Structure 1
Amino acid sequence: MNEKRTAGRGAGTFPGEEPHVADAPNSSHGSDSDAEAIGRRVQRLRAERGLTQRQLAEPAYTPAYVSTLEAGRVRPSEAAVRHLAERLGVTYEELATGRPAHLATDLRLRLVEAQRTLATGAAEDAAATYSRLLAEAEGLGLGEERATALLGLGQCALETGDLPVAREYFESAEQILRDAPLPRRAPAVRGRAVAHLLAGELRYACYLLESAIDELNSSGLQDPGALLLLYTASIAPYMDMGAHARAAQAGELALALAPQVSDPELVAGLHRSVARTLIAAGRTTEADASLAKAAEIYQQLQIRTEMAHCHWMRGYVRAQDGDLSGAEAELRAARDMLASKRAALYTAQVEVELADVLRRSGRTTEARELLHRLLGELHPERGSVHAGGAHRLLGLVHEDEGDLEAAEEHYVSALALLERAGAAGDLADICRLLGDLLRRLGRTEAAMDAYRTGLGHRASPGSTTLGPAPVRPPAARVPSDGAGPSARHTPAPGTPRRPA
C-alpha cells in the first residue's frame, strides 16, 4: 500500500528522540526524518502494548505496511496516523508530532488568558506574557500558536504606539501562516493595515485591505468573518482619504455579512466603524445607537480599549450636537481608560479631540497647553493625521487671538502632515482656512494657490485612485431598509480618526 503522509509534522519529544522545529502549519509536505520519527514512535508504542504488526494494522492496513512505516521508508497519510493512534491509545497529535497533547492545549489556554490581559489591562503586561508564550511555542514547534502569540504582540505594539514593531510582528505572523488559507491570515493583514493607517500611510493601508478582500472573493473563499473584519477595517482609511462612497459601501457590505458571523467582537467592531460613516452623514442619532450596540458588547466582553473608542466617538457625536459638556465627559472617560492601559498613542489622539472641545468651550489657554504637549508625542511617523489636527487647532487658537503669523505657521505645518498622509477631507479644510487667512493678510495670489490646492484634493471624492473598488462577495446583499450608512454626504472636518 503506497501511503503518503499529509500530516504528522512537529517536534519529537518522546523519550530518546531529538526535538526539531515543525514545518509551517497547514503544509502538506513532509521529510524523511519526520517519517522515521513517526516510525520509531509507532514501533515503541506497539511494543509497549504487546501488539503485533498485524493487530495494529488490521482491518484498514496490512502488516507489511506497518513494517515499512516503522522502518521509516514511507510517509503515512493523516488517515493512517489517525488509525494507528486510535489503535495505540494515543492522540493524533502525540503520534504525529511526538508532543503530548496537553502541551499544546495548555499553551492555547494561556494565549487566551494573555488576550484577556490585553483586553482589561496594560499592553506592556500582556506583551510580556505573549513573549514568554511565543518562546514556548517556538520551542515546541507549534506554528499556529506562534502565529497567535505574534498577533497578540502586534496588538500590544499598536496600543503602545510602537508602529514599526507592530508591523514586524504582523508580518512575521503572516509568514508563519503563508500556507494557511487566507481567512486564517486575515487578522495579520488587518493588523498590518491598521499599523500603516496609524502611521499616516492611508493609501497603503487601503491597498492591503482591498487586495485581501479581492483575493477572498475571487478565490471562492468568501469566509464571512474574514470579510467582515477586512471590510470593517477599510472604513477608517477610506474616510480619512475622503473616499466616502467606498467607506459607505464597505459598511453596507459588512452589515450584510453580520448575520452570518457569530463572533460578538467582530460584530461590535462593525457597529463602531459604521457609526463613523453615520456621523459623517449627519445621522448622529443613528450613530449614537450604533455606538451603544458596540459599547454593550464590549462591556460584556470587558474589552476596555474598544470601550474607550466608543466613548471617544460618542464624545464627537455630542460635540457635533453642540453638547460640549457631554462631549468633554465622554472624551475624558475615553482618555482615562486609555491612559490606565498605558495606550499612549490612542490617548494622545483622544486628547486632540478633547482640545477642540476645550477651545470651543472658551478654555483657550487649557486647549493651547494641551496641544503643545501633544505635538511632542505625535509626529509624521506616529499619528500624522492627528498631529495635523493639533496644528490646525493651534492655528485656530492663534487666529482667534490675532496672532496671524503664528496661525499661518501652524496651518502650513498641518498642510504638510495631511498632504503626506493623503487625508483629503482634512486637506481641503486646512487649505480653506489657510486661504482665508492669507486673503485677510492681503496676499491674494497665495490665497488662490491655497484654495486651488484644496480643490485639487477634493476633485475626485469617493476614490482612492487605487483602481476599481473591491469585489463584492457574491452572497452579499446591501440592506434596503435605510439602516445602512449613506455615501452621499461629506463629513465635517475633524471626524474622529481611529483605527478600524
Structure 2
Amino acid sequence: MDLARRLSYRRGEEGTVAEKSAGDGRAAGAEGTAEIGRRVLRLRTERGFTQRQLAEPAYTAAYVSTLESGKVRPSEVALRHLADRLGVTYEELATGRSPQDATRLRAGLTDARRTLATGDTEDAAARFAALSTEADRLGFPDERAAALLGLGDCAMETGELTTARDHFEAAEKLLADEPLPRRVPAIRGRAVAHLLAGELRYSCYLLESAIDELNASGLHDPNALLLLYTASIAPYMDMGAHARAVRAAELSLALAPSVDNPELVAQMHRGVARTLIAEGRTAEADASLAKAQELYEQLRLRTDLAHCHWMRGYVHAQDGDLERAESELRIARDMLASKRATLFTMQVEVELADVLRRRCRTAEAEALLRPLLTRSDGDHGASQETVELTAERGAVHAGGAHRLLGLIADERGDAEGAEEHYCAALSLLERTGAAGDLADLCRLLGDLLRREGRLEAAMDAYRTGLGHRAAPGTTTLGPAPAEPPIEGAH
C-alpha cells in the first residue's frame, strides 16, 4: 500500500474511532452512506422483502426507509442484522464486495491472459483495463496489480513503451508493502520496457538491483531469481557483457529444477539460447529453442512461440542456412502481425530484411526497411498514429534498419547515402551502449571513408570502434550482482 493510501486508511480509522466514541453509530470501514443505502434497497428488492419485513424485529420500517434514502448511516450492529436478513455477509453489505468478487476477478484475469497469449492484443488490453477499474472500485489491490501487469505486457507488444512502464510502476507501487518476490514481475516488466526502448544500462540496473536485494535479504525465491536472471541475458548480450550473460545463463539453468512454472522454464531456454548463439554453438542453441517452443505450444502462448520462430530464424542465419532463416522469420512476423504486436513485428522485419539482402534480394529488403522508419498506422483504422522504429521505441533495431540501408546504398555505389545511414545508426546505437553493434558499424563507416580517401575521418571511426570493443561492458556496468547459494551453481 503506498503512502497516500496508508494515510487515507489511517484517517479513516481515526475518524471511525472518533465517531464511535461520539456514539453516532457509524459502521467501521463502511463506504458512503448513500452507497450503503442503495445497496440495501437493491438487495431488499431482489429478495422481495418489504421494509417492515427486513427491519423486524429489531428495527422499524421507517428506519429502513431512512437508511435506503441515504439520510442515516447504519451502525455495525444494524448492518449485521440487515446482512443476516438479506442472506449476505457483513463485508458485502458494508463494502459492496462479496466473497465471489475476488474469484470472479481472478477468472477474468485468466481469460484476459489467455486472450493476450492467443488472440488480439487490443482485445486483451480492453479486458485488463476493465478488470483494473473493477478491482480498484472493489478494493482488491492484488487483482488490480495483476491487471496492470497485463496492461503493461499489452503496451509492450504494441510498442507503447512509456505507457508500459507506467503500468508496471503502478503495479509495483500497489505491491510496495509485499515481499520483493511479489514485485519481481513488475520490476522485470519495467526492465524489459527500458531494454526495448534502447536503455540497456538502466535495464541492467533494475534487474541487478533486484537480484542483489533478493540475495541480501535471504529471499532466495527460485521463481523470482529465474525471472530476473533470464531477463538480464538480453541487455548483457546487447551491451557486449558476454561473460555476465553466460553466468546469468548458467545460474538460470541451475535454478530451473527448483521451478515448477513451465512458462518461466521456457523463457530460460530462450535466454540460454542467446548465449549459445554468441559462442557459435548453434546446434545447442536450436535444441534449447526447440525445448522452449514445445513448452509454448503446450501453453498456447502465441507471442512467445513467435519469438521462438524468430530466434530460430536468427540461428539459421548465423549458420548460413538463409532459406530456413527466411521461412522461420516470416512465420514469426505473420504470427506477431496477426496479434497486432506492432513493435515486435517491426523488429522481426529488420532481421528478415538482413536475410533478404544476404540472399541478393536487395530491392525486397529495402522495400521492407524504409516503411519501418516512416510508417503510418493506417492499416488498423482509426488513429493514424505514427508507428515506427525510433530512438525511444526499438532503438537497437532502428539502428539495425539504418545499418542495412547503409549497406544496400554502399553496395550500389551510393557513398553519400551509405554514410548518411551509417551516421544515423551510430547516433541511435551510441545512446544504447550496444557495444558489438557499435564496433561493427564503426568498421563499416571507417571502410567507406577510407575508400573515399578521407583517411583521418576513417581513423577516427576505427578508433571509436576499437573503444567499443575494449573490455565490453566493463565501462558501463558496476560490480556483478551477488549470486544466490545454489548447489552446483559455482
Q: Which runs of 4+ in 1 moved over 4 A?
A: 21-24, 27-30, 32-41, 89-98
Deviations 1:358-390 (A, max 9, x none): 001110111111111112211111111001101
Q: Distance in 2 between matches of 1:169 and 1:307?
A: 24
1:171 lines up with 2:169 in the alignment: yes
- Change in Cα spacing, 1:399 to 1:39, as seen in structure 2 (3 Å) is closer
- Change in Cα spacing, 1:426 to 1:203, as seen in structure 2 (3 Å) is same
Q: Distance in 2 between matches of 1:217 and 1:295?
A: 31
Report how far residue 475 of structure 1 moved.
2.5
Q: Distance in 2 between matches of 1:461 and 1:236?
A: 15
Structure 2 runs not aligned, ≥5 long: 18-25, 32-53, 55-74, 78-86, 375-387
Report how far residue 443 of structure 1 moved.
1.0
2:329–2:348 contact (8 Å) kept in structure 1: yes
Q: Distance in 2 between matches of 1:226 and 1:401?
A: 50
Determine the structure 2 residue equivalent to 1:273. 271
Query: Percent identity over the alignment?
Result: 70
- Change in Cα spacing, 1:221 to 1:447, as seen in structure 2 (3 Å) is same
SS of residue in 2 equivalent to 1:31 = helix
Partner AA of 2:250 in structure 1: E
Report how far residue 320 of structure 1 moved.
1.1
Deviations 1:114-171 (A, max 9, x none): 0000000111100001111111101101110110110000000000000110011011
Structure 1 runs not aligned, ≥5 long: 1-8, 10-20, 42-47, 49-68, 72-88, 480-500
1:315 lines up with 2:313 in the alignment: yes
TM-score for the superposition, normalised by structure 1: 0.79
- Change in Cα spacing, 1:226 to 1:96, as seen in structure 2 (3 Å) is farther
RMSD across aligned positions (CA): 2.8
1:31 lines up with 2:13 in the alignment: yes
Partner AA of 1:277 in structure 2: T
Q: Distance in 2 between matches of 1:92 and 1:270?
A: 46
1:410 lines up with 2:414 in the alignment: no
Partner AA of 1:438 in structure 2: L
1:449 lines up with 2:431 in the alignment: no
Deviations 1:316-354 (A, max 9, x none): 111111111100000000000000000110000000000
Q: Distance in 1 between matches of 2:417 and 2:193?
A: 32
- Change in Cα spacing, 1:362 to 1:108, as seen in structure 2 (3 Å) is same
Q: Distance in 2 between matches of 1:203 and 1:415?
A: 17
- Change in Cα spacing, 1:440 to 1:295, as seen in structure 2 (3 Å) is same
1:386 to 355, 376, 397: 397
TM-score for the superposition, normalised by structure 2: 0.80
2:30–2:94 contact (8 Å) kept in structure 1: no
Determine the structure 2 residue equivalent to 1:118. 116
Alignment of 1:99-498 (within 5 A): 99-376=97-374, 377-463=388-474, 465-478=476-489
- Change in Cα spacing, 1:388 to 1:92, as seen in structure 2 (3 Å) is farther
Partner AA of 1:386 in structure 2: H
Deviations 1:254-285 (A, max 9, x none): 11111111110000000011101100110000
Q: Distance in 2 between matches of 1:460 and 1:92?
A: 65
Equivalent residues, number: 419
- Change in Cα spacing, 1:93 to 1:356, as seen in structure 2 (3 Å) is farther
2:30–2:95 contact (8 Å) kept in structure 1: no
Report how far residue 466 of structure 1 moved.
2.8
Q: Distance in 2 between matches of 1:176 and 1:34?
A: 24
Partner AA of 1:306 in structure 2: D
- Change in Cα spacing, 1:148 to 1:428, as seen in structure 2 (3 Å) is same
Q: Distance in 2 between matches of 1:39 and 1:279?
A: 58
- Change in Cα spacing, 1:331 to 1:90, as seen in structure 2 (3 Å) is same
Q: Distance in 2 between matches of 1:90 and 1:474?
A: 50
1:203–1:464 contact (8 Å) kept in structure 2: no
Deviations 1:79-120 (A, max 9, x none): xxxxxxxxxx99898699773210111111111110000000
SS of residue in 1 equivalent to 2:243 = helix
2:316–2:325 contact (8 Å) kept in structure 1: yes
Report how far residue 30 of structure 1 moved.
8.7
